[in-house]
Amino acid sequence: MKTTPIYGMMAEFDSATALVEAARKTHQAGYIKIDAYSPFPVEELAEAIGFHSNRVALVTLIGAAIGGLSGYLMQYWMMAVSYPINVGGRPYHSWPAFIVITFEMTILFGGISAVFGMLALNGLPMPYHPVFNVPRFVMASKDRFFLIVFSTDPKYDPAGTRQFLATLEPRSISEVPS
């Protein structure tokens, strides 16, 4: 037990407002490697911990573009190159007829990229995570709000960080074993 490495220091709060405020102060105090946990999306929180942009939209755009292009090229190649048949004298490359499937493939690939891109960027699925070692953390999916300072943060030191978190008036503070 004594040799268990420490993952971070965690503080528990009662409301979204308290958490956002605490996260903002912690960030301003110079802690960089921090994270916050809430039972529902809190818009201000990402900003408060210094997380500004995510690449989900970019991944989705790329996915959608690949889907649309491959949808159209697939039809072009199959209908005009690989297996050309004359249907009522229409041109082999009859693009208006290809629009529907191009559109559907754009949506399909875009949607799949959005979901799996989001999961991959989030590092999910991840069945084990150190924060679950804190017994009170089960409340994070109900009505409690948590803030963590990771032990990898350059400013992290067990006593000092605990002291700093105490000034934020949390409900409880716990050390997170990894």
Partner 1 sequence: MDQVDVASGKAPVIEPGYTFGTVTDKISSIVLTRPTSNGWFVGFGIAFLVTMMLLFALAYLFAKGVGIWGINIPVGWGFAIVNFVWWIGIGHAGTLISAILLLLRQSWRNSINRFAEAMTLFAVAAAGIFPLIHTGRPWLAYWLFPYPNTMNYWPQFRSPLVWDVFAVSTYFTISLLFWFIGLVPDLATLRDRSESHWARIIYGMLALGWRGSARHWHRYESAYLLLAGLATPLVLSVHTVVSFDFAIAIVPGWHTTIFPPYFVAGAIYSGFAMVLMLAIPIRKIYGLEDFITDRHLQNSAKVMLATGWIVAYGYGIEAFMGWYSGNRYDAFTLWNRLHGPYAFFYYLLLLCNIGIPQVLWIRKLRTSPLGLFLVSSVILSGMWLERFVIVVMSLHRDFLPSSWGMYYPTRWDWMTYVGTIGMFLSAMFLFVRILPMISIFEMRTLLPEAEVKAE
Question: What is the binding site for partner 1 (CB under 8 A)?
Answer: 15-17, 20-21, 23, 35-46, 48-49, 51, 54, 56-57, 60, 64, 74-75, 78-79, 82-83, 85, 87, 90, 94, 97-98, 100-101, 103-105, 107-108, 110-112, 114-115, 117-119, 121-122, 124-129, 131-132, 137-143
Q: Which is nearer to partner 1, 37 or 164 (CB)?
A: 37
Count other Cβ atoms within 10 Å, centred on residue 170: 20
Shortest CB 109 distance to partner 1, Å: 9
Shortest CB 19 distance to partner 1, Å: 9
In 4-144, where do the E strands start and end?
A: 6-13, 34-37
Shortest CB 55 distance to partner 1, Å: 8
Q: Which is nearer to partner 1, 2 or 52 (CB)?
A: 52
- Alpha-carbon span 130 to 177, nearest angstrom: 6
Kindly report whether the peptide bond that precedes residue 130 is cis, defined as omega within 30 degrees of 0: no
- Token pair 């503070």 is found at 173
Report yes or no: 105 and 113 within 8 Å, Cβ to Cβ. Answer: no
Q: Which is nearer to partner 1, 1 or 40 (CB)?
A: 40
Q: Which helix (H) or strand (E) holds 177?
A: strand 172-177
